[in-house]
Amino acid sequence: MTSIKEAFDSIYADKDVKDNRRFVSLYDQNKMIIENADVNNKETGFQVIQLMSDYALSLCYLGSLSKALLYFNKAIPLLENYYKSADINLFSIPLYELLVWNKGTTLWYLKQYKLAKKEFKNLTINFPDNDKYSNWLKGCEAIKYTYVQNIFWILAAICIALTFIVPIKNKSHLILLYIGTIFFISALIMEGVKYLIRQKK
């Protein structure tokens, strides 16, 4: 039976291993070996983490987001546990930063904005000068205002459309115009709020 070390060596020795589809295929061929390996052993534990991390990233880059998230949720805790006895900031490890970043964007594209916000917040705290991380965090904070703004736009459009149906001399015509205007202004206010969030330091 192939060992985790043999699987690890053969996968990374493959000349096409950098191709995401090829890596996913190689991982799937050795899946049972990798996922049943002893993660408490220092050497095999690192090999499992590296393989699982690259698998999660490859799935992410290929657009298999739900499956990628599943493996981010496996690889990240394994990496955290691997270094738990070491007195280091995990974000100083490039692989950890890369996994958290890609988990955050995966959550974003899966519309799990609250969970994505948590990942981007951790990245922003640890890398305060990285505009990419802070911009994605701001995007998560602004998304709830986008939902409300869209509702205001729809309600304003409905009110305006109804004014073409209701006779001008009818009292309801003026009421619809008034309400429609309120919704329109509210939508503009939401746009202003989003702008302020994007400009926030």
Q: Please compute the mean of the pLDDT values over residues 25-43 and round it to a whole number.
A: 91
Write b or e for each residue in 37-48: b if 16 or more Cβ atoms lie within 10 A of its Cβ, otherwise e: bebeeeebbebb
State the pLDDT at residue 142.
64
Tell me which CATH code domain 1-128 carries: 1.25.40
pLDDT higher than threshold 80 for residue 105: yes
**Whose CA is closest to 72, among 105, 36, 30, 27?**
105
pLDDT-wise least confident of 23-37, 51-65, 117-131, 179-193: 179-193
What are the residue ranges spanned by the domains of the chain?
1-128, 142-201
- What pLDDT, on a 0 to 100 scale, did the predictor assign at position 16? 92
Q: What is the pTM of this model?
A: 0.76
For residue 84, which amino acid is it? Answer: K
Residue 165 has pLDDT above 70, yes or no: yes
Segment 16-44 shows an average pLDDT of 92
Which pLDDT score is estimated for 172? 76
Question: Which are the contacts of 1, defined by CB distance < 8 A and separation ≥ 6?
Answer: 33
Q: Could you give the residue ranges of the DSSP H alpha helices within 36-170?
A: 42-61, 65-82, 94-109, 113-126, 131-163
Q: Mean pLDDT, to the nearest integer, of 76-104?
A: 92
